[in-house]
Amino acid sequence: MQQELKIRKTLGRNYLNENRLAEALDVFSRILIDYPDELETLIILGDFYLASGDGNTAKSIYLRAKQVDPNNKSIECQIALADEIADDGFGEPAPTDLPAVARLLQRLTGNTKSIVEDDIMRAALLLEKVVNSESPAELVSEKLNEIDELLPALIELNIRQAYADGHPDLAEGLRNLQHNIDSQLVSMDDPSRVGDHSSETPHFKGNVLMLLPDLENRSSRMSLLKQALKALNCQVVEKMEYSPSRDTKPDVVITSNPHINPGLMNSLSAISDAGIPIILDLDTDFELQPVSHHEYNLKGLGSQVRSNVYTAALSLAQMVTVPSKEHADSLKNVAQQIRVIPDGWSRQNKLWEKDPPPHATINIGWVGTVGQLEDLVFIRRYIIRIIREFPNTRVVIIGNPQAYRLFESLPENRRLYLPVVAHEEFPYLLSQLDVLLVPLRNTPYNHSLPDSILMEAGARSVPWIASMTPEFRRWHSGGILCETSDEWHLNLRHLVIDGSLRYQLGETGKHAARLREMSELGKLWIDVVNQVGHARGILLPNTESIPAFSPMEY
Amino acid sequence: MVITYIFSKRLEDQFRVQLRFRDFSDAINRLSIHRANLLDIDSFIQNTPDAQKTCAESDILVIYRYLYGPILSTIQYWKAREKKVIVEFDQAINYLSPELLDYSFWIEGVPLTDGAEKKVENRIDPAPLEQFKWGLGMVDAAIVPSARLANDWLQYTNIYEIPDYINSSRYPTLEKPHTDQVWLGLGQDVQFASFKNSGLSTAIESICRECPQVSLILCGQEKLIGEGLNIDPSQIKTYSPNNFYEWVNLLLKLDIGLVPIYGDYDLRLSRATLLDFMISKTPWIVTKQSPFASLSKYGSLVQNSVKAWKSEILKVMEQLEDFRREATREPFLFALGQDISVNIDKVLLVYSAILNQSPQKDSK
């Protein structure tokens, strides 16, 4: 039970750290319902009320906390603070009840439209009119604007009705909907939110040459980039070589991992000689990639030729783009300019948002293209223990037969192997999982890895448990990070037991992944193109300059 | 409902492809209610424009046996597009022994080469048997022609049994061309090991020595059987049918059909061979084993021993006219009742069940 409490508190704190007050409040208020004497949660909730200006309610909660820990001096200080503003307080009789929490949220965020009783009354009257109307559809059509205005009040009305009818589950579902609407209203009103570029329309609409090492096996990153640039009205051509005498001169060249195909070097030299700006995209830190990595033979810097091309490309490029900040940090002394552009997903691929295929088991999955066998080995025994403990679970290994063999001791119907598929079908593979595991050993290469797999899990609403790497810590949406091996077992066990937590984490991840949809990320790419192209005057005059090293913060 | 059968072009598979895919497909299309297509595995894997179009229009994809390599990724591709994927297989590949033809492929990973010399150095890894098990976890269901086979693979996926049916119009009436001889023939799926270990080979050697009018007809098994038999070469006739029709032509000339069952692999064989004998009005003798117990009244069953086989074969030879007459009655009528056109509804019922099947509960 204590572990479950710990996870819920961690989740709540994470929401707080991400300034996601609605979710944080939801988690902490529910903890207090289940554990009325939980000291830390009492203090946090008291702080919430204090911050919202409701001294009366804050004080009542702090007093409860003091009963739990009478010698705690800091609680006395908080009580004193609450006393100072007590006169302005509202005095919630039941501060953990959902209506009270909703009012608290409205006061804290300030940006959302508060639901006043008058609105609720108007909503009730409107609803009654519609129900009793001879032509309800016509009436709804007439009153669309009013309905839009009263939407929060209508939901509040339904929440109260659901409680009154004895359907708390429905009420909580509606409350989540209300929180989501609130969150969206907040993000619409907050231009500082990452990914909201409504005020900075990109202007580059020129010719982009994507110089790729292999057109048959282009990376997911480049495929998505091409789609995104095209959607933003750029003319995009993909090639494996460029000849100045034969090919149209592009405005800018984006090349991806050119060392994989050393033949690209001649083209890059010609492009550089022609004064065409080059953006070099590296999708992993090849300098740190271990020899044992499954892609090393194909993409690593194991040969002199590749190594030379890698170095030369870095020197020719005006800009280097990478998907992780750690990777960017490691290159800042060797590249002219570096930008972090994380990996994304595209709504154009319908599989990201399609309903998951139904399955009768809780599928615990590991994706072989992300980690190595050695990464999985150290949590193998915990997975096997969980699979044996819970008959409704199954381990799913994607794309690594050796890893699948690690689970041969389990019955056949408790394990499933899925092959590697094209990028396009990857969301379908993810949708077959209920919990994704991303263990990574403490190695320099693993620390340089981007958060892509967690973001993709989020886009598919799959909760995850992962190692505490720098990029994972930065992302930290929709899952649980583990520092010790024991935590792997406890967290996995908890996620298997608690379906609502899985759902909640899945929704959190999905929410976070919205900012990585390619229509958003495409604008970041355009920013980069604008920046490198600025010197050639191919951009419209109102393009803003961007700092030389400004990794995106997520 | 639109069903697409994805078939193997391998020569060795053509008998089963005809029986289970082409005949099923024809029968479905004759109904004019549903539609069936045929697509070869290579086009399916390469996702050629035709394959893409055919599969996209289908509700169900039925894949022949070979769940390994790129087929697995292609299955995921189509499952992601909400197609129900079924594998149809008939071999007990988990009971293959080294002397059986496909052992090197399924167990050792030696690639299939369709008759050419096999290249041992480029082995498939992991071996196809292991990949086949992965594949069963991915498909929506598997269909097999025997109950034991169904039972073996129950823990891997949803298993349905559809017994073999025949297309009776493919078996014309033909007079036996050899009035003074007795042709003994083996079922087309009889393995060399079963022939030897059941005692049948020794029994036939003995009969051939005693009865010069007896000939042993070997159909596609001559490479394995011919060398080791102590029979006068003039009493062995070998045929290598290249297709189903050539096999049927040969079948119609047999006087007595023989099916030795020996070992776990044989226990999982389908009834196709016995239906062949019955529809061609050929008396048959089979090892007394459970897979064919329900058909015992239509033929003769013997224990696996030299003495029993010899005695039963001689008995049928001595009363051949009586047995022939008997074979034209109940066994033939039974076989007529197993025509695919009569039974296609049962096949479609299974497809419908798979199309509508859902897991017991959704854990999400």
Q: Provide the pLDDT for residue B150.
A: 95
pLDDT of B24-51, one tens digit each?
A: 999 999 998 999 999 999 999 999 999 9
Q: In what order do the strands lie in the sheet with A435-438?
A: A415-418, A393-398, A362-367, A435-438, A464-467, A479-482
What mean pLDDT do residues A479-506 have? 93
Give the integer Cα–Cα distance in Å for A354 and A359: 15
pLDDT at residue B90 greater than cutoff 80: yes
pLDDT number for residue A554: 27
Predicted confidence at residue B364, as pLDDT, reads 36
All residues of chain A having their beta carbon less than 8 Å from the beta carbon of residue B358 are 358
**Shortest CA distance from A395: residue in chain B:** B137
pLDDT at B264: 92
Q: What is the pLDDT of residue B120?
A: 62
Identify the band that residue A549 occupies on the pLDDT scale cut at 50, 70 and 90: very low
| CATH code, residues B2-165+340-356 | 3.40.50.2000
For residue B19, give the DSSP letter: I
Q: Which residue has the higher pLDDT, A298 or B48?
A: B48
Q: Which of residues 230-269 of B touch A (CB under 8 A)?
A: none
Residues of B in contact with A358 (CB under 8 A): 358-359, 362, 364
Percent of chain B residues past pLDDT 70, beyond the cut: 92
d(CA A352, CA A516): 13
For residue B68, give how far its alpha carbon lies from the nearest alpha carbon of chain A (Å).
Answer: 10
Model confidence at A112: pLDDT above 60: no
| Reported CATH class of domain B168-337 | alpha beta
Report yes or no on whether pTM surpasses 0.80. no
From chain B, pick out residues whose CB is under 8 angstroms from the CB of A361.
363
pLDDT at A546 over 50: no
**Residue A358: which of B79, B155, B358 has the nearest Cβ?**
B358
Higher pLDDT, A84 or A242: A242
Q: Read off the pLDDT of residues A142-196 as tens digits, 9 standing for 90 and up.
A: 777 777 777 777 777 777 777 667 666 666 667 666 665 665 554 444 444 444 4
3-state SS, residue A109: helix
Which of B80, B134, B362 is the closest to A359 by Cβ?
A: B362
Contact A357 B79 (CB under 8 A): yes
Q: What is the mean pLDDT of residues A483-512?
A: 93
Give dist(CA A155, CA A311) in Å, integer.
59
Percent of chain A, pLDDT > 70? Answer: 85
Residues in chain A with CB shorter than 8 Å from the CB of B362 are 358-360
Average pLDDT over residues B282-305: 91
**Chain CA centroid to CA B357, Å:** 27
Q: Which of B191, B363, B327 is nearest to B263 (CA)?
A: B191
For the stretch B113-151, pLDDT in tens is 765 555 666 889 899 999 999 999 999 999 999 999 999
Give the residue extent of every domain in chain B. 2-165+340-356, 168-337
Under a CB-based contact definition with an 8 Å cutoff, are residues B237 and B215 in contact?
yes
Q: What is the DSSP string of A271-332?
A: HHHTT--EEEE-SS-TTT--TTSTTHHHHSS-SHHHHHHHHHHHHH-SEEEES-HHHHHHHT
A7 has a pLDDT exceeding 60: yes
Least reliable range by pLDDT among A64-68, A393-397, B187-191, B199-203: B187-191
- Who's near A201: CB < 8 A, 6+ residues apart? none
When pLDDT is averaged across residues A68-92 and rounded to a whole number, the result is 76
Q: % helix / strand / coil in chain A, to the nearest 5?
A: 55, 10, 35
What is the pairing mode between strands A464-467 and B182-186?
unpaired
The pLDDT of residue A418: 95
Q: What is the DSSP letter of B118?
A: P
Q: Which domains does chain A show, CATH number per domain? A: 2-109 (1.25.40.10), 117-189 (no CATH), 208-344+519-536 (3.40.50.2000), 350-516 (3.40.50.2000)
CA distance A243 to B323: 83
Residue in A257, A242, A252, A248 with CA at minimum distance from that of residue A275: A252
List b or e across B247-275, with b for residues whose CB sees 16 or more CB atoms inside 10 angstroms.
bbebbbbbbbbbbbbbbebbbbbbbbbbb
Report helix, strand or coil for B218: strand
SS3 call for A155 = helix
Q: Are strands B214-219 and B182-186 parallel, antiparallel or unpaired?
A: parallel
Q: Side chain identity at A135, as an amino acid letter? A: S
Residues A202-223, mean pLDDT to the nearest whole number: 87
Lowest mean pLDDT among A49-53, A307-311, B138-142: A49-53
Distance from C-alpha of A162 to C-alpha of A171, rounded to nearest angstrom: 5
Fold agreement between B2-165+340-356 and B168-337: yes
How does pLDDT run across A324-353, given as a tens digit for each residue?
A: 999 999 998 888 889 999 999 999 999 999
- Number of CB pairs, chain A paired with chain B, less than 8 A apart: 63
Contact between residue B70 and residue B89 where contact means Cβ atoms under 8 Å apart: no
What is the model's pLDDT at position A199?
45
Residues A11 and A28: their CA atoms lie apart, in Å, by 9
